[in-house]
Every structure is written in structure tokens, then in C-alpha cells.
Amino acid sequence: MTRASLALMRRALRNAFRRPQFLAPLVVFPTLFLAVNTGGLEATTALPGFPEVESFLDFQLASAIVQSTMLGGVSAGIAMALDIEAGFFDRLVVSPIPRTAIVMGRIGAAGVLGSLQVLWFLAIGFIFGAQMATGPGGVLVVVALGVVAAVAFGAFGVLIALRARSASTVQGIFPLVIVALFLSSAFFPIELLSWPADVIAEYNPISYLAEGLREPIAFGWDAKIILEGFVAGLAMAGIGIALAISALRGRLQAAR
């Protein structure tokens, strides 16, 4: 199980790095968005109800990480769909490897890329003056939670690819990604969201993920919020992986 998964994961990563034109947008667009959000809305930290923060950048870093890992999930899905379109998927299916490795290799690669995405945004943050409220220990927590998020979104990307089978359909879910992100507290404190975003954000696991990432960067060690982030992320990852594997089984059944 693990060896085949690792081999497929390495392949997925190698392909990703060989095509930087597909990899770059995963960090470039969230970075641009981070820049305009912090530069444009810096003054909002003065709003009544906005929590005490060193800078708006500290606050926004978590949203960029969530956004970037979500894009990573879409791109994992697109890569999976391209494998299906090109017939490489069928070649894997007829080879004597555990079927779950096909899914797990791709999702694992999304997790590894996720750690790099987190490090990119932390580096950008530090260069432009963000502070890590919890020091080096906090970096580890943020990277770990970022990987969990990347795995979760990767699993959903792969799930959609297995159901849709075409890369352009997977690409078409992009607006939904944006909707899911806007209906969370990723960008702004939940108390300041307007109706109905505030109500939906309350139930949106992405809110907890974002707040779990934000806590160690902008505020400090609040075990409850960080734990909630991990619970939300791990739950999404678990559900996503289970659904992806069952979608894979369904595909193989239908092919028989």
C-alpha cells in the first residue's frame, strides 16, 4: 500500500515541479490577493469589534494559506482528471498496485505541496513585517495544519475528478471554491460579517480551519481554537478521502 502510494506521490510531485506554469498560480494569485486585501483594508482593524492585532497582515496570512491550499485541491483534481483523459489512470488500474494508492498518492502529493505553500506565505509574511505571536513552535503548528488542509482539499479535488472525469469540469468548480471561501471567516472576523454570511460561516468548517491557522500567527496559544482547526481539517480530510476511495471503487465497479 504505502510503497505504491509513495511512488505515485513522487510522480505527482515531479510532474508538478516540471510544469511551473501550473504550479505558480497556486501561490501567485493568493499572494496578489493577500497584497490587495492587506493594503486596501488595513484601516478596518480600527473598526469596533475587530480583535486586537499587531497588523492586518498577521490576520490575513491564514486566509491566503487556506485559499492557496484550496487552489491546490483544484489543481490536484485537474491533474487527476488529465490522467483519466490521457488513459494513464487505466494503466494504473490494470497494474498490480492497491487501488487506494491511486487516490492516496495524489492526495499525499497535495499534502507535501501544502507544506511548501504554507512556508511560502509565512516567508512572505515575515519579509513584509508579520509577527509570529507564538514563535517557532507556532510555525510547526501552522505547517501541520496547512498540510491537513491541503490533504482535505486535495481529497475533494480528486473526488470531483473521479466523478466528473474531465479536466474542464473540475476547472469549472473554481467559482464554488471562491463561494465557500467567502462564506467563512477566512478573510474577516466572524462578528463583522453581514447576514447571511455570518450564519453560514458559523457552520463552515473552512472558518475553523482558517481560525486555527490564524490563532498561532496573530494571537497566541489558544488550545481550543487550534484544536478546533485540527478537528475541522481532519474531519474534512477523513470524509474527503473516504468519499474519494468510494468514488474510485464505484468507477471500477461500473467499468466491469
Partner 1 sequence: MTAELRVTWALMRRGLNEVLRVPGASIPGILAPTIFLLGLSAVFSEAAQLPGYGTTDFTQFIVPVSLLQGAGFTGAATGVNLARDIERGWFDRLLLAPAPRSVVLLGIVGSAALRCLLPVTFLLLVAFALGVPWPGVGDLVVCILLVMGFASAMACWGTVIALRFQTQQAAPLMQAVAFSAVLFTTAYAPMELLADWLQVIATINPTTLVIDAMRDGFITTMSWYDIWTAVLAIAGMMIFFGLLAVRGMRRLGR
Q: Which residues bind partner 1 (CB under 8 A)?
A: 19, 21-22, 24-25, 28-29, 32-33, 35-44, 46-47, 49, 168, 172, 174-175, 178-179, 181-183, 187-188, 192-194, 196-197
Nearer to partner 1, 34 or 107 (CB): 34
**Cβ nearer to partner 1, comparing 104 with 160:** 160
| Least distance from partner 1 to the Cβ atom of residue 167, Å | 12
Q: Do residues 185 and 102 make contact, with C-beta atoms less than 8 angstroms apart?
A: no
* Nearest approach, Cβ of residue 114 and partner 1 (Å): 20
CB 68 within 8 A of CB 27: yes
In whole angstroms, give the CA distance from residue 9 to residue 3. Answer: 10
156 vs 188, which CB is nearer to partner 1?
A: 188
Q: How far is the CB of 143 from partner 1 (least distance, A)?
A: 26
- Tell me whether residue 39 or residue 135 sits nearer to partner 1 (CB atom): 39
Q: What minimum distance in Å lies between the beta carbon of 33 and partner 1? A: 8
Nearer to partner 1, 27 or 142 (CB): 27
Distance of closest approach, residue 124 Cβ to partner 1, in angstroms = 14
**Which residues, in sequence order, are CB contacts of 72 under 8 Å at separation 6+?**
26, 110, 113, 114, 117, 150, 153, 154, 157
Closest distance to partner 1 from the beta carbon of 244 (Å): 23
* CB closer to partner 1, 39 vs 220: 39
Residue 163 is placed in which grid cell?
466523478
Residue 255 beta carbon to partner 1: minimum distance, rounded to whole angstroms: 26
Compare residues 35 and 235 and give the one whose CB is closer to partner 1.
35
- What span, in angstroms and rounded, lies between the C-alpha atoms of 82 and 26? 18
